[in-house]
Amino acid sequence: MLEREQRILITRITTEHARALRKKFKRAVHHESARCVTIEKQPLRKRPGTIAVVCAGTSDLPVAEEAAVTAEIMGNHVERLSDVGVSGLHRLLGRLELIQSANVVVVVAGMEGALPSVVAGLVSRPVIAVPTSVGYGASFGGLAALLGMLNSCGTGVTVVNIDNGFGAGYAASQMNALVSGAGIT
């Protein structure tokens, strides 16, 4: 497969499989918190502009990292903000400039999934919401966050499947590619 492709992204990989791959392919890089391995013969040249990947805390981090790594291997600059939840608005507002300067914002959130609504009220660029299965009880494996995001009062928010960091990163890259007018590779 590696012969055919210039770069490969393997998601949801266990630490054991990652180690085996790294033994076999010296170019393989293990992104631990993203639970991904990437193998690149030659990295893509980065597009101008950034994609911001925003989440509220450590439990949403693996999905956020999956989105970030996906966007990076597809040739995008990524800004990570991982401590900006709705119950601590000052941290969010303190980093507003960074978020507003991105071409596309990926917002990852579990529990009630409220963060994309708040972010969408603060930026004019596309916001992609990723619900995570973080939570318990009436979160029903991410359903609460998913429904929250689909009903977001923030106009223009689009949503991907629960825990689908890869899909969000891919879509964000498609959108960011519009800036330079180039197709996606």
Cα–Cα distances in angstroms (integers) from residue 36 to residues 6, 27, 62, 70, 147, in the given order: 17, 14, 9, 9, 27
Amino acid letter for position 33: S
Q: How far is the CB of 100 from its own copies (least distance, A)?
A: 10
81 is a site residue for its own copies (CB under 8 A): no
Residue 170 binds its own copies, judged by CB under 8 A: yes
Q: At 82, which helix (H) or strand (E)?
A: none
Residue number with CB closer to its own copies (27 or 101): 101
Strands, E, within the chain: which ranges? 7-10, 29-31, 36-40, 50-55, 77-81, 104-109, 127-131, 157-159
* Single-letter residue type at 8: I
147 is a contact residue toward its own copies (CB under 8 A): yes
Residues near 131 by beta carbon (within 8 Å), at least 6 away in sequence: 109, 110, 113, 142, 145, 146, 148, 149, 159, 161, 162, 163
Contact 106, 82 (CB under 8 A): no
User: At closest approach, how far in Å is the CB of 77 from its own copies?
Assistant: 15
Q: How far is CA 9 from CA 13, 56, 67, 91, 182, in A?
A: 10, 25, 11, 32, 21
C-beta of 39 vs 169, nearer to its own copies: 169
Q: Which residues ranging from 48 to 77 are in contact with its own copies (CB under 8 A)? A: 56
Query: At closest approach, how far in Å is the CB of 184 from its own copies?
Result: 5
Q: What is the DSSP letter of 26?
A: T
23 contacts its own copies (rule: CB under 8 A): no
Binding to its own copies, residues 24-53 (CB under 8 A): none
- Residues between 99 and 128 with contacts to its own copies, criterion CB under 8 A: 103-104, 111-114, 117-118, 120-122, 124-126, 128
Size of the site for its own copies (CB under 8 A): 68
Minimum CB–partner distance for residue 166 and its own copies (Å): 8
Interface positions with its own copies (CB under 8 A): 56, 85-89, 93, 103-104, 111-114, 117-118, 120-122, 124-126, 128, 131, 133, 135-164, 166-168, 170-171, 173-176, 178-179, 181, 183-184
